[in-house]
Amino acid sequence: MRKSLLFLYTLLITASCLNAAGPGAAAPEISAVNAKEEAVSLRDYAGKVVFLNFWASWCPPCRSEFPELDSLAAEYSEKDLVVIAINLDRNRSSADDFIDNYEKSSDKTTPGSRLSWNMKILFDRDNATAQAYSVPGIPASFIIGRNGGIRYKHTGFQYAFTRKWREEIDSLLAEKFVPRQEDDENAGENKGEDNDAEDEE
């Protein structure tokens, strides 16, 4: 009996891991809104590399990471990269206060002390997007390739991560975007080649 329960528990854990959003999986659609309460979709950025980050104003590592995300967005503003920071605060006012204070900061000695607004800040009102991505903790970042697949995942924040981000982003920007309609028309051979390229990374 005990062995059967252990086997069942192992199967459940394995299934959970397989279903978790991570490198190699298709990026789940997001369910979040911008400051104007307008719904935003990943489809809006088809063909672009998306750096998707989850954060909250009460999270110390998130506060440290925030200027780095803003700098990243500004640095790649002329390239096919979109930085989306999804806030998970229970109270929207907490996030608004944090952003307002950050933007009004007059400390010119601190890099990125003023928001560049190249980063897109969204709000996950019911944590639906965080659940879809199986976010284990925050901050958490998912780098999504041009063709909609999750290619890299980072949990937590260290300043050393910022160099790795750029290396991964540059490698994805160098890849070719294959529109989904073209995939459907060329179903089979071309689509298989794209999948193989992703599997190798």
Q: Which pLDDT score, from 0 to 100, does residue 162 have?
A: 97
Q: Which pLDDT score, from 0 to 100, does residue 112 have?
A: 47
**pLDDT of 100 higher than 60:** yes
Read off the pLDDT band of 110 (50, 70, 90).
low
Sheet with 49-55: strands ordered across: 39-40, 32-33, 120-123, 81-87, 49-55, 140-144, 150-155
Read off the pLDDT band of 178 (50, 70, 90).
confident
| Contact status, residue 142 vs residue 135, Cβ threshold 8 Å | no
Domains of the chain and CATH, by start = 20-176 (3.40.30.10)
